[in-house]
Amino acid sequence: MTTDEKITPSQNGLSSIIKQTFDLVLIPFLAVVTALIIGGFIIVVTDAAVYTAFGEGGIGGGLAAIWTSVSVAYGSMFSGSLGSARDISESLVASTPYIFAGLAVAVGFRGGMFNIGVEGQLLLAVMASVYVGSNFSLPWIIHLPLTILAGMVAGAAWAALAGYLKAKTGAHEVINTIMMNYIVYLFSDWALNGFLCRTPCSSPVSPPVLESAFLPQFFYRLHFGFFLALIVAFAVWWLLFKTTIGFEIRTVGTNPNAARYGGIQTTKVMVLTMAISGALAGLAGASELLGVNRVLAAGFSSGYGFDAIALALLGRSHPLGVVLAALLFGTLRSGATRMQSLANIPTDIISIIQALVIVFIAAPAIIRWIYRIKAKGAEEGGGVMVQGWGS
Amino acid sequence: MKKQMFLLVAVLAVLAMVAAQCGGSAPKPTEAKKESPKEEVKKEEVKPVASGHKYAQVTDTGGVDDKGFNQLAWGGMKLAQEKLGVEVKVLESKQQTDYEKNINELVNQKYDGIVTVGFLLADATKAASLANPNLKIAIVDFPSQTPTDMGLLFSVDQPSFEAGYLAAALSKSGTVCTFGGIKIPPVTAFMVGFESGVNYYNEKKSGKIKLLGWKTDGTKEGGGEGSFTGNFENLDDGRNYAEGFFDEGCDIIMPVAGPVGLGSAAAAKDRGFKIIGVDSDGFVTAPEYKSIYLTSALKNIDVAVFSAVEQMEKGTFKGGTNYVGTLQNGGVGLASFHDNASMVSKELQDELKAIEKGIIDGSVSTGWPVK
């Protein structure tokens, strides 16, 4: 994949490094900016006050109302995400599951696997973690790692199954992982009304995780899962770019036939890629459970796994890029609360902005066309995405 | 030319964005929040006396337009805005982490009272109540958990009793039926009330109406035995259970299983039978089956929410207690018969009114809670 070389250039001079980094960052940056602008248009168009102002105050009043509408919206979003220590803490809290989940999808992309099942793997992991976390009384030094591990194993096993099906039977992982999501959703419904329900079972909510399995919060709600996420991101980078396994994963991702010809056991690598991806998805769920929520109830995750696809695309499937993209998305999500409470804008606007970012990243030609940027090579941008679908 | 225009627009837009963000960040959050409410009050100034107090609702992940609890609760909030002149707001939750965050946001903005909706918010409500003992907070459909919060509960056995009596009176086949989603008290309360209503009819009219799907028995776990689909989602289950009961001769069914009941409504429509809704008025919420709904046993969440806000506003709010919606205070009730009004004779309506009076003054027992 050409993008790898651009991020870790070695022989080229400094100026070309800067130029390449610029190219790499420019499209995602413009995609985000453009999405925010279009989001602004949507805010204005759906704001009744703007129409009233145009009616009463003419063009001048209308433009003023547009200005107020957008500035109050994005102003409250900004103050709600970065305005105070507590708000910054909340933004980092929101970013944490995004980092893990984004890494999960990114690893899949690198290995040529489009893991749409992160959502399901995450939920299954939370179920495993909440079971271990609430049922066993152990000293924290054992309990906490064990609970996290339970989540990772559950996520890894569930994802590896899809990888195995792909490797052995050719069943496409996109289809499999989507379908396997539904199995987990319904399984969790059943479990929450059965063995995972608290006693007495008056509503489908799990018992709380015991304190010995908590990821401690230290800065308002910010918990150690955030640092774990950064460490894991570094570990994923190291695994992908500094180890033999990582080389094999990337080779299979680029061209499985060539990889096989080159002596790589593609079957093994496919299953392994999915297992790593699933384990990361599991970490997303476990850290969210043990750091913030501490119980499992319906609506635990409303789309971390799907937002993660956007994150991986935005971050060019590079761990550093994913971390930055996750921080951005977490900040947007977190700011949405204030935007809702002050500017009366539904949090759904954030989903629209995220969706627009995906569109622009997946089709960089739109961004190039809008901003008149010359294409450097056909392989840039879309390459990662295409790899996931082939073979 | 065209190109330059494009660039110009793009650059201007970017500048606008940056400026918007800077502009918003310059005043402190406390100042920013004062601005927009003022604007709203201006808009609402037609309303009677603006008290200047602010109340907010926090939804669960269903969102405010869920055609269910959240929407009904929001109706109560809007009623409070209209009748009490207070300012109301709703914060939607997208995921579990949002519950605590949304409540904290409202606490930090010094809202005068908060209403949370549903058991999913129970833990967050409890935590917020313990952390802020002066906070006025009420939770819909969940009992009070701390000395300072209020639970909003509903005696659904009461309208179910009326529904049972009505079904027994209108059944042509002599068999009525019910089934539940999951065997938990909020569900079985409906079924027990329904059964008691049928029994009351048999007692009064020496009828022999049979009930399928539930049998109260205090010695059994959960207060009796009955049919349960085991979920609140699967519409096919709703259809299958209904078909099974119809085959056994039932012609009026009361499914107590949320959306599962829509499957039963579809089956009832095919067979020309009737259904009794629960929680909200099926005639309104499921218009495709409207004439199939004989009536519904209502949880008037809007009435309860309004009452909670009214108590907070008037200073009569008492933490550690539960508001219980009853036939007397209108917190529960039997829905209108709508298209089927002609089926319900004047005589039957009078009987239902007498029953309502009996339940209110305690002379008629709904059999709930099961002893």
Q: What is the tens place of the pLDDT at every residue in A50-96? A: 888 888 888 888 899 999 999 999 999 999 999 999 999 999 999 99
Residues in chain A within 8 Å Cβ distance of B35:
72
Mutate to test the interface with A, among B8, B94, B102, B187 (most CBs of A within 10 A): B94
Q: Which of A126, A183, A151, A117 is nearest to A298 (CA)?
A: A126
Return the pLDDT at A380.
44
Per-residue pLDDT tens over the stretch A255-297: 999 999 999 999 999 999 999 999 999 999 999 999 999 999 8
pLDDT tops 90 at residue A384: no
Residues of B within 8 A of A208 (CB-CB) are 123
Where does B50-154+300-331 sit in CATH, by number?
3.40.50.2300
Residue A52 confidence (pLDDT):
87
Tens digits of per-residue pLDDT, B177-226?
999 988 888 899 999 999 999 999 999 999 999 999 999 998 988 889 99
Mean pLDDT of A145-159: 98
Which chain A positions have a beta carbon within 8 Å of B3's beta carbon?
372
Helix (H, G, I), strand (E, B) or coil at A136: coil
Confidence class for position A5, pLDDT limits 50, 70, 90: very low
Contact criterion met (CB < 8 Å) for A72 and B36 = yes
Using DSSP's 3-state secondary structure scheme, residue A71 falls into helix
Report which DSSP code applies to A208.
Answer: P
User: How far is it, in rounded angstroms, from Cα A62 to Cα A51?
Assistant: 7
* A372 interfacial to chain B (CB closer than 8 Å): yes
- Complex ipTM value: 0.83
A72 contacts B122? CB cut-off 8 A: no
Report the domain count for chain A.
1
For chain B, residues with pLDDT lower than 70 are: 1-49
| Chain B environment of A372 (Cβ under 8 Å) | 3, 6-7
Chain centroid to CA A148: how far?
Answer: 19
Nearest to A116 by CA among A201, A184, A63: A184
Nearest-Cα distance to chain A for B254, in Å, is: 21
What is residue B6's predicted lDDT score, i.e. its pLDDT?
A: 52
Residues in B closer than 8 angstroms to A127, CB to CB, are: none
CB contact under 8 A, A75 and B24: yes
**What pLDDT, in 10s, does the model give residues A103-149?**
999 999 999 999 999 999 999 999 999 999 999 999 999 999 999 99
* CATH classification of the domain holding A81: 1.10.3470
Q: Closest-CA residue in chain A for B55?
A: A341
pLDDT band for position A12 (cuts 50, 70, 90) = low
pLDDT digits (tens, 9 = 90+) for B19-31: 444 433 333 333 3
3-state secondary structure of A9: coil
Q: Among partner residues A36, A86, A342, which is closest to B17 by beta-carbon distance?
A: A36
Residue B324's alpha-carbon distances to A137, A262, A362, in angstroms, are 38, 73, 54
| Residue A286, pLDDT score | 97
Residue A2 has pLDDT above 60, yes or no: no
**DSSP tag of A197:** S
In a domain? residue A2: no
A145 within domain boundaries: yes
Instruction: Tell me if A206 sits within 8 A of A192, measured CB to CB.
Output: yes
pTM: 0.81
Q: Which domain holds residue A160?
A: 18-389
Average pLDDT over residues A225-229: 97
What is the pairing mode between strands B332-334 and B293-299?
A: antiparallel
- B157-299+337-361 carries CATH number 3.40.50.2300: yes
Q: What is the mean pLDDT of residues A352-380?
A: 79
Domain residue limits, chain B? 50-154+300-331, 157-299+337-361
| A375 band by pLDDT with thresholds 50, 70 and 90 | low
User: How far away is chain A from the Cα of B330, in angstroms, using its nearest Cα?
Assistant: 25
Q: Please state at what angle helix B157-170 crosses helix B185-205, rounded to 10 degrees.
A: 40
- Residue A48: pLDDT band with limits 50, 70, 90: confident
Is-contact B307 B99, C-beta < 8 A?
no
Give the per-residue pLDDT at B333: 96
Q: Do B95 and A300 touch (CB under 8 A)?
A: yes
What percentage of residues in chain B have a pLDDT greater than 70? Answer: 87
Using the predicted structure, report yes or no on whether residue A195 has a pLDDT greater than 60.
yes
What local confidence, expressed as pLDDT, does residue A365 receive? Answer: 86
Cβ atoms within 10 Å of A382's Cβ, excluding its own: 15
Residue A49, pLDDT score: 85
Amino acid, res. B255: P
Is residue A12 situated within a structural domain? no
Write a three-state SS string for chain B. CHHHHHHHHHHHHHHHHHHHHHHHHCCCHHHHHHHHHHHHHHHCCCCCCCCCCEEEEECCCCCCCCCCHHHHHHHHHHHHHHHHCCEEEEECCCCCHHHHHHHHHHHHCCCCEEEEECHHHHHHHHHHHHHCCCCCEEEECCCCCCCCEEEEEECCHHHHHHHHHHHHHHCCCCEEEEEECCCCHHHHHHHHHHHHHHHHHHHHHCCCCEEECEEECCCCHHHEEECECCCCCCHHHHHHHHHHHHHCCCCEEEEECCCHHHHHHHHHHHHCCEEEEEECCHHHHCHHHHHHEEEEEEECHHHHHHHHHHHHHHCCCCCCCEEEECCCCCCEEECCCHHHHHHCCHHHHHHHHHHHHHHHHCCCCCCCCCC
What is the reported pLDDT for A299?
Answer: 77
Check CB contact under 8 Å for B101 and A90. Answer: yes
